[in-house]
Structure 1
Amino acid sequence: MLMNTLIMIIFMMNAFIDRGRELAFLEKRFQSGRAELVVVYGRRRVGKTFLLRRFLAGKRGVYFVVTKLGDILRELSEAIGEQLGVHPPLLRSYRELFKYVAEQCRESRLVLVIDEFQRLAEHDPVFLMELQAAWDEFLSDTKVFLVLSGSSVGVVERTALSSSSPIFGRRTGQLKVKPFAFSCAKEFTPGWSCEDKVRAYAVFGGTPAYLSLLDSSKSLLENIKSLVLEPGGPLREEPYFLLAAETREPLRYMAILEAMASGAATLGEIASKSGLSSSELPRYMRVLEAMLDIVEKSYPLLEEGRRGRARYRIKDNFLRFWFRFVRPNLYLLELGEVERVASRIAEQLDEYVSTVFEDVALEHFSRAVPALRVGRWWRGDVEIDGVAIDEKSKVAYFMEAKWSKHPLDKRVLRELERKAEAFDWKIGERREVYFLYSRSGFTFEAEENVKLINLEELCAQPCT
């Protein structure tokens, strides 16, 4: 199984990159001494399993994955026996399971992790109802540390986090594990130039399972060929496997994502390019956005929720890359034309990277400005890569990022100043500060209210 292979690779990594906040959250809950019911969730491949196993290290606990919907109680009983070195009795109901767990943690802490719990919750709703009853009756008075972990984000939110969930009001914590931002993703490629670190992030995104496959002794293009393009490459059909595992109509979702990867950003554009009708498209978009968490809807800053202003984009860089460069060339790859496809990618890669560089710059910009409201902004033909406002100080921050092989001159600054005039928040009252991000440096010096950030500064960001 591909998933098992990826998990094994992550376990073989020498360094546990980041996840310090997530571990600290779990450890703090663990140290409470009280009964804890924590929900951990996030998209597939983001490292939930590795995080939880890391947390479990040195603790008295049981880790169980719901892999198939058969005799769950028997399998759980066997896992408890093997991992705790005990001989549990025959468990014939979830209530008996929770009774036994309660007995095991009356005096000392016991961690029980049920991974992919959403499969069980959807298949057998009695599970969560029995957990609710057991928690109210006796489990909450023990030292149990129960973790329900799941990958189908929408299902987890519905079954465990919504107000209609049987365990609503019982959970003591929740943790959404997200892909790495660039500041941490770059740590997977030691020895590569900063330019190639950005390119690698543009191709493989922030998913630890993908990043851990990279061989930094080889070039980025060699990694793309061996991991994505060549027959048997572990990521060659990854998007199809992901959609086939989570949806009933994977080919329809693939058509939508391919349309988005080619530049479609509004519902009308996506419907036109994907071949779906405008009436049926929203249903599929809701699944991609809310259930799978791989598409995001955004609005211009200060125009959130305004009708007709939304844009959609693929959140995951690898999926965006695959649907732009691999999916349209699958017929060539099937013919063995790996080098031909790789050559096409090499020719067009920096054009593709330029849009991801805007995301990398926005990440840094969001941390650099003392403002709570940060985002992109567009109106008509005017687009600004990043805007932030400080209501208290009446300061507006504007950002532009350029992935150019030539140093930027002052024309870029003047163009950003011109575009800022279209952003009408407190115009005439506000102070304006400009941030410029460049792959290749600048031909002029920074000045008051103008910040210049080069690639080296972006790569020097700590992973936090």
Structure 2
Amino acid sequence: MLLIMDIVVKRKEANLLSDRWALVYGRRKVGKTFMLKRFYSWDYFILVGRDGTLWVEGADIEKFSNIEDFIRFVIRSLRMGKRVVIDEFQRLPDYVLERISTTHPSGILILSGSSMRVVKDIFGTKSPLLGLIEEHPVGLINPQDMIKSLYSKKFLDYVVYLRDPWLIPLMNGDSILKDLYRVMTITPSTIPSLVGEIFREEDRRLTSTYEGIIKSIGSGYGKPSDISSILYSRGLIPKDSASGVVPYIKNLVKMGILKEVKLYGKKGIIYRMVSPIFSVFYYLSDKYEMEYSRPSFEIMKENIMRIHSLCYEDFVAEVIADILGGYLRYSHDPEIDGIIVDRKEKPIAVVEVKYGKIGRNDISKFVDKTENIRGKRIIVAKNRIDYKDVTVLTPDKFKNTVMRWKI
């Protein structure tokens, strides 16, 4: 067993915080609070509750009795050169930051917020902090940081999902398929609730159109035209028009729920979930209505394996693209797991990811279907085979590649 519950991941983002005022932001449950509390040297850590309660750690009191006491405390602390973290700061009234900003550049103020809207607020033309504060986005855990913390032959199965840190205490590490089943069945409302929280933080309403788009993409439909047809067939939009759903999709991208993936050699874009566990949930929910039923593991096993292998392949291809300093593109005809291009859209590598073992015949087919694409040939599979002009990486070799950040 991996003893996943004991894993503590030290994140690179904490080291990027300097002796300057900074904004740390990202969607909920990506580990911002844990990272700042555990790996940033603060003097005072203040949490703004949903009801406006101002909790404080490091001081002689547990919470502030009113907002004026809070403002005076923060201003005084900054003028004394203290490091002050304000978590969920976006819940504060606008005038609070305006008053606190008058102390700049004294001390170090770290603001942490759980929405993409905070970026617009802080860096907008009317913001009192414009030009005074650094920007530090926090997303899923960096693959290097996560891999350093996992010591098992199964590490590659788990690193795909544990980059979403809220999953760490929910997985046992014995079997990825059983762990995914466990997460899906014991916490069936968690992901829909998390999506709802993201919308609330963004001051948006989770309409049936948004829900339909999320479910469609989770089910494997990534083209706006396909999504539009599905929504129209369900009576969620009045007209089957791809251009009509694109603004909704763009908003989901801005909120960090979806990501854009370009197609190689074409103008088309497909959309996918940023979080692999979101992909797993909505894929399985489409087949089993996970919010309302709990089928047995044996019934769900095949489909869990199918969506896991897809998430696994996407993750590996994305990491290789990052290592090579390129951009990931997909191809449906011929079907290729990943084509990595440079800024000019010229290919620098072609990637094939196999969840299981690979044979020489598989490699030969891969070479044949990519013969007209320049660049390195890279295959990640459970076994290693020597093949001319093809780099084959086993999970252990892939791990070493990630740690060295070089292929």
Using the size of structure 1 for normalisation, the TM-score is: 0.72
SS at match of 2:136: strand
Partners of 1:374 and 1:284 in 2: how far apart?
24
1:86 deviates by 7.0
Partners of 1:88 and 1:185 in 2: how far apart?
34
1:396 deviates by 3.3
Partners of 2:129 and 2:60 in 1: how far apart?
30
Question: C-alpha deviations, 1:176-210, integer Å up to 9, x for none?
Answer: 1121255544566644x43xx444455x3520111
- Counterpart residue number, 1:22: 13
- Counterpart residue number, 2:206: 249
Tell me which of 332, 354, 365 is aligned to 2:320. 365
1:188–1:214 contact (8 Å) kept in structure 2: no
1:301–1:387 contact (8 Å) kept in structure 2: yes
SS at match of 2:289: helix
1:176-187 equivalences under 5 Å are 176-186=137-147
1:323 deviates by 0.5
1:264–1:273 contact (8 Å) kept in structure 2: no
Partners of 1:200 and 1:89 in 2: how far apart?
41
Residue 116 of structure 1 pairs with residue 88 of structure 2 = yes
1:225-304 equivalences under 5 Å are 225-229=181-185, 233=186, 235-247=187-199, 248-249=205-206, 251-275=208-232, 276-277=236-237, 278=241, 280-290=244-254, 292-300=255-263
Partners of 2:404 and 2:26 in 1: how far apart?
20
1:52-451 equivalences under 5 Å are 52-56=36-40, 59-61=42-44, 63-70=45-52, 75-76=53-54, 79=55, 83-85=58-60, 93=68, 98=71, 100-107=73-80, 109-120=81-92, 124-132=93-101, 134=102, 139-142=103-106, 144-153=107-116, 155-171=117-133, 173-186=134-147, 190-191=151-152, 193-194=153-154, 197-201=155-159, 204=161, 206-216=163-173, 218-229=174-185, 233=186, 235-247=187-199, 248-249=205-206, 251-275=208-232, 276-277=236-237, 278=241, 280-290=244-254, 292-300=255-263, 306=267, 309-330=268-289, 334=292, 337-339=294-296, 342-366=297-321, 369=324, 372-378=325-331, 381-389=333-341, 396-403=348-355, 405-421=356-372, 423=373, 432-442=375-385, 445-447=386-388, 449-451=389-391
1:267 deviates by 0.9
1:408–1:441 contact (8 Å) kept in structure 2: no
1:257 deviates by 1.7
2:64–2:70 contact (8 Å) kept in structure 1: no
Using the size of structure 2 for normalisation, the TM-score is: 0.81
Partners of 2:391 and 2:380 in 1: how far apart?
9
- The RMSD of aligned alpha carbons is 3.4
- The runs of 5 or more residues in structure 2 that have no matched partner are 200-204
Partners of 1:452 and 1:89 in 2: how far apart?
59
Partners of 2:179 and 2:313 in 1: how far apart?
24
Partners of 1:297 and 1:390 in 2: how far apart?
17
Query: Which letter does structure 1 place at the counterpart of 2:131?
Result: G
1:174 deviates by 1.9
SS at match of 2:58: helix
1:289 deviates by 0.9
- The runs of 5 or more residues in structure 1 that have no matched partner are 1-11, 31-35, 424-430
Q: Aligned residue pairs: how many?
A: 388
- Counterpart residue number, 1:33: none
Report sequence identity in percent: 21
Partners of 1:413 and 1:184 in 2: how far apart?
35
1:387 deviates by 2.9
Partners of 1:167 and 1:312 in 2: how far apart?
34
Partners of 1:297 and 1:391 in 2: how far apart?
16
1:43–1:178 contact (8 Å) kept in structure 2: yes
1:325 deviates by 1.0
Query: Which letter does structure 2 place at the counterpart of 1:84?
Result: A
Partners of 2:228 and 2:62 in 1: how far apart?
58
- Counterpart residue number, 2:202: none
Query: Which letter does structure 1 place at the counterpart of 2:282?
Result: F
1:214–1:223 contact (8 Å) kept in structure 2: yes
Which structure is larger by alpha-carbon Rg, 1 or 2?
1
Query: Which letter does structure 1 place at the counterpart of 2:359?
Result: L
Question: C-alpha deviations, 1:135-186, integer Å up to 9, x for none?
Answer: xxxx1252x2111111112x12211134453321111x22111212555445
SS at match of 1:146: strand
- Moved segments of 4+, more than 6 Å: 86-92
1:188–1:211 contact (8 Å) kept in structure 2: no
Partners of 2:318 and 2:364 in 1: how far apart?
20
When residues 184 and 83 of structure 1 are mapped into structure 2, their CA distance, relative to the original with a 3 A threshold, is closer
1:183–1:463 contact (8 Å) kept in structure 2: no
Partners of 1:88 and 1:412 in 2: how far apart?
62
The more displaced of 405-414 and 144-153 is 405-414
Query: Which letter does structure 2 place at the counterpart of 1:323?
Result: Y
Query: Which letter does structure 2 place at the counterpart of 1:174?
Result: E
